[in-house]
Amino acid sequence: MAKRTTPSVNSRIFIKHKVRRVINLMERSAKIAKVRLKALAERSAVISRLYGCLLQGELACRRRRFQAILGVSLALVLLLLILLGRHGDQHLDTKTAVKGTRPKEIWLAFDMLTPSSEKKQNETVNMTAVAPTNESYVWPKCDFCVRNFAKAGNLSEQDMEKAKKNKCIPVLCIPPDDFFKKRPLPLNNLNKLMLRPTKDACAGNLTGVIVVYTQVASTDVRNVWRQVTKRFLMSHPDFRIFFVIGYTSNKVQWGRITEDSDVNNDVISYEFTDSYENLPTKTALMLHWFSQFCRDAKYLIKMDDDMYFNPRKLLETLEEIPDHMVLAGKMIFHARVQRNPKNKFYVSEEEYPYPYWPNYVAGGMYIVSADAVSKLWHAVSYVPRVTIEDAWLTLLALSVGVERYFLPDMYGEHEKWSDENRDEICQAADKFVGYLVRSDKPGTSRKDIAKLWMNCQRKYI
């Protein structure tokens, strides 16, 4: 609740004048009502004495009584209107008195869903620290975003120096308060049916739950993952791997999914169409699933199915990052929102009206602490949905106070596997937690991941 500010002297004089005016009106109304009631009573008495109710009949008596009651009722209504008018004047004056103060409202049970005052203070410091007082009003805003996340190192200092050199006001590229404002009803309906539940998914004391994004038809990809990660899971029983998918009406494909799930108990499926546009839905349902079944695990680790991970680097990274309210991964800097409808990453101004994304955690692979997962899930229904899944996840994090943690060695990438360059590829992959396999040929990524595991990671499993 916002604190009411003390009204100014002019406001108090204005209120006093209004009160005096209301009292005068009430006194005049009371006098008029008294005169009218007296006249009505005298008139009724005279008529009663001359003719009598019995001579006039029952109808005349009722009419006279009705007129008397009506007069009293009108007087009471008038007084009520005057009092309501007075209350309205005071209410408006109170609003005027507290104008300029912003209530620190919350969404549901979350006191950090509106961007915190600390972010606002940082933004003010950034603006005043760079721009001289006598020149700041003529400087434009910078066309890049200050890298203001955990473990940014000297990146923030570089951005500030760049802003000073370019004579522009640095910005954080965080949406204004209106984007995170309190809303009475959910914006996003994500009440999806879980089609393939996992039994005792996270039983035991788990360190990490790895969730891999795959397509419904990618049965072969899931089998490769199970094959190459089997030894890792056997040597590290505090880890689990699951695959999240949508739904298909293709009975043959869905029959394979049913069999796959029954045998391996590692397929998470919800009733939604699995497509690029629905990646935000997929992410939201992953958060929901983890909040329901794996809340006692320490970390949620998300990966794409064309991503291979380095067990040694993953374990080292989990030791490094905090275990409380953190979203860790590779950061995307200074990203403009694409407005070209032909671009794959196009987002309309209606969907997201701001020119830049906040510095966001890349979606190929990231790590979320368990306590942050439930916060993100509860924010899902109220933060406006955008098509860019990893940018939306970061917006969810900003809304509930989850810290973005920069991991520069989270993942790298290569075009394709080559036996001739095996040692070079393995040396490069050894520097990252994950390694992204890119290929335009269907099925090539699956084979490359298997070769990476067999050739590069055998000694670490």
Q: What is the pLDDT of residues 262-301, one digit of tens each?
A: 888 899 988 888 888 899 999 999 999 999 899 899 999 9
Instruction: Spell out the residues 6+ positions from residue 62 whose beta carbon is closer than 8 angstroms to its own.
Output: none
Q: Which pTM value belongs to this model?
A: 0.69
Q: Work out the percent of the chain whose per-residue pLDDT is above 70.
A: 67
83 confidence band (pLDDT: 50, 70, 90): low
Lowest mean pLDDT across 76-90, 194-208, 246-260: 76-90
Return the CATH class of domain 195-460: alpha beta
Whole-number average pLDDT of the chain: 76
Rounded Cα distance between 373 and 380, Å, is 11
Helix (H), strand (E), coil (C) string for the chain: CCCCCCCCHHHHHHHHHHHHHHHHHHHHHHHHHHHHHHHHHHHHHHHHHHCHHHHHCHHHHHHHHHHHHHHHHHHHHHHHHHHHHHHHHHHHHHHHHCCCCCCCCCECCECCCCCCHHHHHHHHHHHHHHCCCCCHHHCCEEEEECCCCECCCCHHHHHHHHHHHHCCEEECCCCCHHHHCCCCCCCCCCCCCEEECCCCCCCCCCCEEEEEECCCCCHHHHHHHHHHHHHHHHHCCCEEEEEEEEECCCHHHHHHHHHHHHHHCCEEEEEEECCHHHHHHHHHHHHHHHHHHCCCCCEEEEEECCEEECHHHHHHHHHHCCCCCEEEEEEECCCECECCCCCCCECCCCCCCCCECCCEEEEEEEEEEHHHHHHHHHHHCCCCCCCCHHHHHHHHHHHHCCEEEECCCCEEEECCCCHHHHHHHHHHHCCCCEEEECCCCCCHHHHHHHHHHHHHCHHHC
pLDDT one-digit tens code per residue, 88-146: 333 323 222 222 222 223 233 333 333 344 333 333 333 333 444 444 457 888 888 88
Average pLDDT estimate for 75-85:
58
**Does 343 have pLDDT greater than 50?**
yes
The phi and psi torsions of 296 (rounded to 5 degrees) equal -90, -10
pLDDT (0 to 100) of residue 157: 87
The phi and psi torsions of 73 (rounded to 5 degrees) equal -65, -45
CA-based radius of gyration for the chain: 34
